[in-house]
Amino acid sequence: MKRKTPLKIGNLELGQGLILAPMAGITDMSFRLIAVRFGADLVTSEMVSAEGLVRENPGTSYLLQSHPDEKPLSVQLFGSEPRVMAEAARMLVDRGTDIIDLNMGCPVPRIIRQGAGAVILKNIETVERILTAVRRAVEIPVTVKIRSGWDRSSMNAVEVARAAEASGVDAITLHPRTAKQGLSGVADWSLIAGLKRAVKIPVIGNGDVTKPEQVEDMKQQTGCDGVMIGRAAMGNPWIFQHAKRLALGEAVRRPTTEERLEVMLSHLLSYQQLRPTRPLLSGVRSRLMWYSKKLPGASRLRAELGGCRDTKTMIKMCESFFASLEEGA
Protein backbone atom coordinates (compact mmCIF):
# COMPACT_ATOMS: atom_id res chain seq x y z
CA MET A 1 0.00 0.00 0.00
CA LYS A 2 1.20 3.47 -0.80
CA ARG A 3 1.46 5.62 2.29
CA LYS A 4 0.86 9.34 2.60
CA THR A 5 3.70 11.60 3.62
CA PRO A 6 4.03 13.69 5.59
CA LEU A 7 1.60 12.73 8.33
CA LYS A 8 -0.70 15.68 8.90
CA ILE A 9 -2.75 16.06 12.09
CA GLY A 10 -4.85 19.18 12.00
CA ASN A 11 -2.55 21.97 10.87
CA LEU A 12 0.62 20.15 11.95
CA GLU A 13 2.88 18.32 9.49
CA LEU A 14 4.77 15.51 11.20
CA GLY A 15 7.29 14.16 8.72
CA GLN A 16 7.28 10.38 8.44
CA GLY A 17 4.81 10.13 11.31
CA LEU A 18 7.05 8.43 13.88
CA ILE A 19 5.47 9.03 17.27
CA LEU A 20 6.67 8.29 20.79
CA ALA A 21 3.83 6.57 22.63
CA PRO A 22 2.58 7.82 25.99
CA MET A 23 3.85 5.58 28.79
CA ALA A 24 3.06 6.17 32.47
CA GLY A 25 6.20 6.70 34.53
CA ILE A 26 8.32 6.65 31.37
CA THR A 27 7.67 9.44 28.87
CA ASP A 28 8.62 12.38 31.04
CA MET A 29 10.36 15.39 29.54
CA SER A 30 13.81 13.80 29.80
CA PHE A 31 12.77 10.81 27.69
CA ARG A 32 10.84 12.91 25.21
CA LEU A 33 13.84 15.17 24.55
CA ILE A 34 16.01 12.13 23.82
CA ALA A 35 13.36 10.76 21.43
CA VAL A 36 13.19 14.08 19.55
CA ARG A 37 16.98 14.19 19.32
CA PHE A 38 16.90 10.83 17.53
CA GLY A 39 14.14 11.56 15.10
CA ALA A 40 10.71 11.19 16.69
CA ASP A 41 8.32 13.44 14.74
CA LEU A 42 5.93 13.78 17.67
CA VAL A 43 6.29 12.97 21.37
CA THR A 44 3.52 12.33 23.86
CA SER A 45 3.40 12.98 27.59
CA GLU A 46 2.59 10.47 30.27
CA MET A 47 -1.13 10.08 30.97
CA VAL A 48 -2.47 13.18 32.70
CA SER A 49 -5.58 13.04 34.85
CA ALA A 50 -8.24 15.53 33.77
CA GLU A 51 -9.52 15.64 37.35
CA GLY A 52 -6.00 16.24 38.67
CA LEU A 53 -5.44 19.05 36.20
CA VAL A 54 -8.71 20.80 36.97
CA ARG A 55 -8.13 20.43 40.72
CA GLU A 56 -4.56 21.76 40.28
CA ASN A 57 -2.95 18.68 41.78
CA PRO A 58 0.83 19.32 42.25
CA GLY A 59 1.67 15.88 40.86
CA THR A 60 -0.19 16.69 37.68
CA SER A 61 1.84 19.86 37.22
CA TYR A 62 5.02 17.79 37.39
CA LEU A 63 3.78 15.61 34.53
CA LEU A 64 3.23 18.72 32.41
CA GLN A 65 6.81 19.99 32.52
CA SER A 66 7.96 20.65 28.97
CA HIS A 67 10.73 22.23 26.92
CA PRO A 68 10.62 24.21 23.64
CA ASP A 69 12.94 21.65 22.02
CA GLU A 70 10.30 18.91 22.22
CA LYS A 71 7.73 20.80 20.20
CA PRO A 72 5.30 19.75 18.88
CA LEU A 73 4.11 18.09 22.07
CA SER A 74 1.01 15.95 22.51
CA VAL A 75 -0.45 15.66 26.01
CA GLN A 76 -2.54 12.61 26.77
CA LEU A 77 -5.61 13.14 28.96
CA PHE A 78 -7.59 10.48 30.76
CA GLY A 79 -10.90 10.82 32.52
CA SER A 80 -14.54 9.82 32.36
CA GLU A 81 -16.57 13.04 32.67
CA PRO A 82 -17.07 15.04 29.44
CA ARG A 83 -17.33 18.38 31.27
CA VAL A 84 -14.10 17.81 33.20
CA MET A 85 -12.28 16.53 30.13
CA ALA A 86 -13.32 19.66 28.22
CA GLU A 87 -12.19 21.98 31.00
CA ALA A 88 -8.84 20.16 31.28
CA ALA A 89 -8.40 20.44 27.51
CA ARG A 90 -8.90 24.21 27.67
CA MET A 91 -6.28 24.42 30.43
CA LEU A 92 -3.81 22.49 28.29
CA VAL A 93 -4.31 24.93 25.43
CA ASP A 94 -3.48 27.77 27.84
CA ARG A 95 -0.25 25.93 28.72
CA GLY A 96 0.82 25.79 25.07
CA THR A 97 -0.01 22.16 24.28
CA ASP A 98 0.08 21.40 20.55
CA ILE A 99 -2.13 18.28 20.44
CA ILE A 100 -4.52 16.76 22.95
CA ASP A 101 -4.67 12.96 22.90
CA LEU A 102 -7.59 11.28 24.66
CA ASN A 103 -6.88 7.98 26.35
CA MET A 104 -9.51 5.34 25.67
CA GLY A 105 -7.17 2.39 25.65
CA CYS A 106 -5.37 2.05 28.98
CA PRO A 107 -6.15 -1.36 30.55
CA VAL A 108 -4.48 -0.67 33.92
CA PRO A 109 -6.87 -1.52 36.80
CA ARG A 110 -6.40 1.75 38.72
CA ILE A 111 -7.45 3.69 35.60
CA ILE A 112 -10.33 1.32 34.84
CA ARG A 113 -11.65 1.70 38.41
CA GLN A 114 -12.03 5.42 37.73
CA GLY A 115 -14.26 4.67 34.76
CA ALA A 116 -11.51 5.87 32.43
CA GLY A 117 -9.16 4.34 29.88
CA ALA A 118 -10.29 1.31 27.91
CA VAL A 119 -13.46 0.75 29.94
CA ILE A 120 -14.98 3.74 28.11
CA LEU A 121 -15.05 1.59 24.97
CA LYS A 122 -17.89 -0.40 26.55
CA ASN A 123 -20.27 2.51 26.03
CA ILE A 124 -20.25 4.23 22.64
CA GLU A 125 -22.48 7.04 23.96
CA THR A 126 -19.85 7.92 26.58
CA VAL A 127 -17.20 7.83 23.86
CA GLU A 128 -19.21 10.26 21.75
CA ARG A 129 -19.96 12.64 24.64
CA ILE A 130 -16.30 12.91 25.64
CA LEU A 131 -15.03 13.35 22.10
CA THR A 132 -17.66 15.96 21.27
CA ALA A 133 -17.11 17.91 24.50
CA VAL A 134 -13.35 18.13 24.03
CA ARG A 135 -13.60 18.91 20.31
CA ARG A 136 -15.98 21.81 21.02
CA ALA A 137 -13.77 23.11 23.83
CA VAL A 138 -10.55 23.61 21.88
CA GLU A 139 -9.32 24.54 18.42
CA ILE A 140 -5.99 22.69 18.46
CA PRO A 141 -5.79 19.14 17.06
CA VAL A 142 -7.48 16.40 19.09
CA THR A 143 -6.58 12.72 18.73
CA VAL A 144 -7.74 9.57 20.48
CA LYS A 145 -5.90 6.34 21.33
CA ILE A 146 -7.92 3.15 21.60
CA ARG A 147 -7.74 -0.63 21.83
CA SER A 148 -9.55 -2.98 19.47
CA GLY A 149 -12.27 -3.31 22.11
CA TRP A 150 -12.85 -4.29 25.71
CA ASP A 151 -12.67 -8.02 24.99
CA ARG A 152 -12.96 -10.37 22.03
CA SER A 153 -16.75 -10.34 22.22
CA SER A 154 -16.93 -6.54 21.92
CA MET A 155 -14.31 -5.47 19.37
CA ASN A 156 -15.76 -2.12 18.32
CA ALA A 157 -12.71 -0.15 17.15
CA VAL A 158 -14.33 0.72 13.81
CA GLU A 159 -17.49 2.01 15.50
CA VAL A 160 -15.40 4.12 17.88
CA ALA A 161 -13.26 5.44 15.01
CA ARG A 162 -16.32 6.48 13.05
CA ALA A 163 -17.68 8.25 16.12
CA ALA A 164 -14.33 10.03 16.48
CA GLU A 165 -14.40 11.12 12.86
CA ALA A 166 -17.99 12.36 13.16
CA SER A 167 -17.04 14.32 16.29
CA GLY A 168 -14.29 16.18 14.45
CA VAL A 169 -11.33 14.33 15.97
CA ASP A 170 -8.21 14.81 13.82
CA ALA A 171 -6.59 11.35 14.05
CA ILE A 172 -6.94 8.01 15.80
CA THR A 173 -4.35 5.57 17.12
CA LEU A 174 -5.16 1.87 17.37
CA HIS A 175 -3.32 -0.67 19.50
CA PRO A 176 -4.88 -3.83 18.06
CA ARG A 177 -5.22 -5.83 21.24
CA THR A 178 -8.27 -5.86 23.48
CA ALA A 179 -8.12 -4.30 26.92
CA LYS A 180 -8.46 -7.75 28.45
CA GLN A 181 -5.38 -8.90 26.54
CA GLY A 182 -3.20 -6.22 28.06
CA LEU A 183 0.17 -6.81 26.43
CA SER A 184 -0.29 -10.55 25.96
CA GLY A 185 -0.68 -12.31 22.65
CA VAL A 186 0.07 -10.67 19.32
CA ALA A 187 -1.03 -7.26 18.04
CA ASP A 188 -3.31 -7.96 15.06
CA TRP A 189 -2.16 -5.49 12.44
CA SER A 190 -5.01 -6.49 10.13
CA LEU A 191 -7.30 -4.56 12.48
CA ILE A 192 -5.29 -1.41 11.78
CA ALA A 193 -5.76 -2.03 8.05
CA GLY A 194 -9.51 -2.45 8.57
CA LEU A 195 -9.70 0.77 10.55
CA LYS A 196 -7.80 2.63 7.86
CA ARG A 197 -10.35 1.50 5.27
CA ALA A 198 -13.24 2.56 7.51
CA VAL A 199 -12.36 6.23 8.11
CA LYS A 200 -10.81 9.16 6.28
CA ILE A 201 -8.97 10.74 9.19
CA PRO A 202 -5.32 9.71 9.72
CA VAL A 203 -4.84 6.32 11.40
CA ILE A 204 -1.75 5.66 13.50
CA GLY A 205 -0.67 2.08 14.12
CA ASN A 206 0.72 0.91 17.45
CA GLY A 207 1.78 -2.46 18.79
CA ASP A 208 4.63 -4.96 18.36
CA VAL A 209 6.97 -2.61 16.51
CA THR A 210 10.22 -3.66 18.15
CA LYS A 211 12.70 -3.14 15.31
CA PRO A 212 13.21 -0.18 12.95
CA GLU A 213 12.45 -2.24 9.84
CA GLN A 214 9.00 -3.05 11.25
CA VAL A 215 7.94 0.58 10.86
CA GLU A 216 7.81 0.23 7.08
CA ASP A 217 6.37 -3.27 7.46
CA MET A 218 3.43 -1.88 9.41
CA LYS A 219 2.86 0.95 6.95
CA GLN A 220 2.95 -1.41 3.98
CA GLN A 221 0.72 -4.03 5.56
CA THR A 222 -1.89 -1.66 6.98
CA GLY A 223 -1.72 1.57 4.99
CA CYS A 224 -1.53 3.48 8.27
CA ASP A 225 -0.44 7.11 8.17
CA GLY A 226 1.93 6.98 11.13
CA VAL A 227 3.51 4.54 13.57
CA MET A 228 3.60 4.91 17.34
CA ILE A 229 6.49 3.27 19.20
CA GLY A 230 6.56 2.71 22.95
CA ARG A 231 8.57 0.12 24.87
CA ALA A 232 10.99 -0.52 21.99
CA ALA A 233 12.32 3.04 22.40
CA MET A 234 13.25 2.57 26.06
CA GLY A 235 17.04 2.66 26.04
CA ASN A 236 16.94 2.55 22.24
CA PRO A 237 15.97 5.99 20.89
CA TRP A 238 17.97 5.09 17.77
CA ILE A 239 14.91 3.15 16.59
CA PHE A 240 13.40 6.39 15.24
CA GLN A 241 16.58 7.45 13.45
CA HIS A 242 17.15 4.00 12.00
CA ALA A 243 13.55 3.65 10.80
CA LYS A 244 13.85 6.91 8.89
CA ARG A 245 17.12 5.91 7.29
CA LEU A 246 15.80 2.51 6.28
CA ALA A 247 12.78 4.18 4.66
CA LEU A 248 15.22 6.15 2.51
CA GLY A 249 17.18 3.02 1.60
CA GLU A 250 20.14 4.03 3.73
CA ALA A 251 22.27 1.68 5.80
CA VAL A 252 22.16 1.74 9.59
CA ARG A 253 24.57 0.54 12.24
CA ARG A 254 24.23 -0.32 15.87
CA PRO A 255 25.31 2.42 18.29
CA THR A 256 28.74 1.93 19.80
CA THR A 257 29.15 1.38 23.53
CA GLU A 258 30.58 4.91 23.76
CA GLU A 259 27.48 6.32 22.07
CA ARG A 260 25.19 4.33 24.36
CA LEU A 261 27.00 5.65 27.41
CA GLU A 262 26.84 9.25 26.18
CA VAL A 263 23.10 9.09 25.52
CA MET A 264 22.43 7.28 28.80
CA LEU A 265 24.29 9.95 30.81
CA SER A 266 22.57 12.74 28.87
CA HIS A 267 19.18 11.17 29.57
CA LEU A 268 20.02 10.70 33.25
CA LEU A 269 21.19 14.30 33.67
CA SER A 270 17.95 15.56 32.14
CA TYR A 271 15.95 13.22 34.41
CA GLN A 272 17.74 14.49 37.51
CA GLN A 273 17.09 18.09 36.51
CA LEU A 274 13.36 17.34 36.51
CA ARG A 275 13.64 16.47 40.20
CA PRO A 276 16.40 18.77 41.49
CA THR A 277 15.52 18.28 45.14
CA ARG A 278 14.97 14.51 45.17
CA PRO A 279 15.67 12.38 42.12
CA LEU A 280 13.95 9.03 42.53
CA LEU A 281 16.53 6.25 42.89
CA SER A 282 14.14 3.80 41.25
CA GLY A 283 13.83 6.13 38.27
CA VAL A 284 17.59 6.56 38.02
CA ARG A 285 18.15 2.81 38.28
CA SER A 286 15.57 1.88 35.66
CA ARG A 287 16.87 4.40 33.14
CA LEU A 288 20.43 3.17 33.56
CA MET A 289 19.25 -0.40 33.04
CA TRP A 290 17.43 0.43 29.79
CA TYR A 291 20.66 1.25 27.99
CA SER A 292 22.43 -1.94 29.02
CA LYS A 293 19.60 -4.27 27.98
CA LYS A 294 20.72 -7.29 25.92
CA LEU A 295 24.39 -6.34 26.24
CA PRO A 296 26.90 -8.91 27.56
CA GLY A 297 26.93 -8.86 31.37
CA ALA A 298 23.76 -6.76 31.62
CA SER A 299 22.15 -9.10 34.15
CA ARG A 300 25.15 -8.73 36.45
CA LEU A 301 24.99 -4.94 36.15
CA ARG A 302 21.28 -4.98 36.96
CA ALA A 303 21.95 -7.00 40.11
CA GLU A 304 24.66 -4.58 41.20
CA LEU A 305 22.47 -1.54 40.55
CA GLY A 306 19.61 -3.16 42.45
CA GLY A 307 21.65 -3.15 45.64
CA CYS A 308 22.96 0.39 45.25
CA ARG A 309 21.39 3.37 47.04
CA ASP A 310 23.56 6.16 45.68
CA THR A 311 23.18 7.80 42.27
CA LYS A 312 26.87 8.66 41.84
CA THR A 313 27.91 5.09 42.55
CA MET A 314 25.32 3.81 40.06
CA ILE A 315 26.78 6.05 37.36
CA LYS A 316 30.32 4.86 38.11
CA MET A 317 29.13 1.26 37.85
CA CYS A 318 27.66 1.95 34.41
CA GLU A 319 30.76 3.78 33.22
CA SER A 320 32.89 0.81 34.26
CA PHE A 321 30.45 -1.58 32.59
CA PHE A 322 30.55 0.25 29.25
CA ALA A 323 34.34 0.70 29.48
CA SER A 324 34.76 -3.06 29.89
CA LEU A 325 32.59 -3.64 26.82
CA GLU A 326 34.74 -1.21 24.81
CA GLU A 327 37.92 -3.00 25.89
CA GLY A 328 36.48 -6.36 24.93
CA ALA A 329 35.19 -5.21 21.52
Kind plus residue range of the DSSP H or E element containing 227: strand 226-229
Mean pLDDT, range 13-38, rounded to an integer: 96
pLDDT at residue number 276: 67
Last residue of a domain, one of 247, 269, 290: 247
End-to-end Cα distance, the chain: 42
pLDDT at residue number 238: 97
Collapse the DSSP code of 64 into the 3-class scheme (helix H, G, I; strand E, B; otherwise coil) and give the result.
Answer: coil
pTM: 0.93
In this structure, the answer to whether residues 160 and 264 fall within a common structural domain is: no
In this structure, the answer to whether residues 173 and 316 fall within a common structural domain is: no
In this structure, the answer to whether residues 237 and 324 fall within a common structural domain is: no
In a domain, 2, yes or no: no
In a domain, 1, yes or no: no
Domain count, the chain: 2
Reported as a pLDDT band with limits 50, 70 and 90, residue 328 is low
In a domain, 252, yes or no: no
In this structure, the answer to whether residues 108 and 170 fall within a common structural domain is: yes
In a domain, 3, yes or no: no
Tens of pLDDT, residues 298-320? 999 989 888 888 888 988 999 99
The set of catalytic residues is 106
In this structure, the answer to whether residues 266 and 207 fall within a common structural domain is: no
Mean pLDDT, range 157-181, rounded to an integer: 97
**Least confident stretch, 83-92, 189-198, 271-280:** 271-280
In this structure, the answer to whether residues 320 and 296 fall within a common structural domain is: yes
In this structure, the answer to whether residues 281 and 319 fall within a common structural domain is: yes
Q: What amino acid occupies position 160?
A: V
pLDDT at residue number 1: 39
Reported as a pLDDT band with limits 50, 70 and 90, residue 2 is very low
In this structure, the answer to whether residues 210 and 267 fall within a common structural domain is: no
Domain hosting residue 196, numbered range: 8-247
Mean pLDDT, range 129-156, rounded to an integer: 97
Collapse the DSSP code of 123 into the 3-class scheme (helix H, G, I; strand E, B; otherwise coil) and give the result.
Answer: coil
The yes-or-no verdict on residue 4 having pLDDT over 60 is: no
In this structure, the answer to whether residues 186 and 224 fall within a common structural domain is: yes
Q: How many Cβ atoms are within 10 Å of 14's Cβ, its own excluded? A: 23
d(CA 238, CA 17): 16
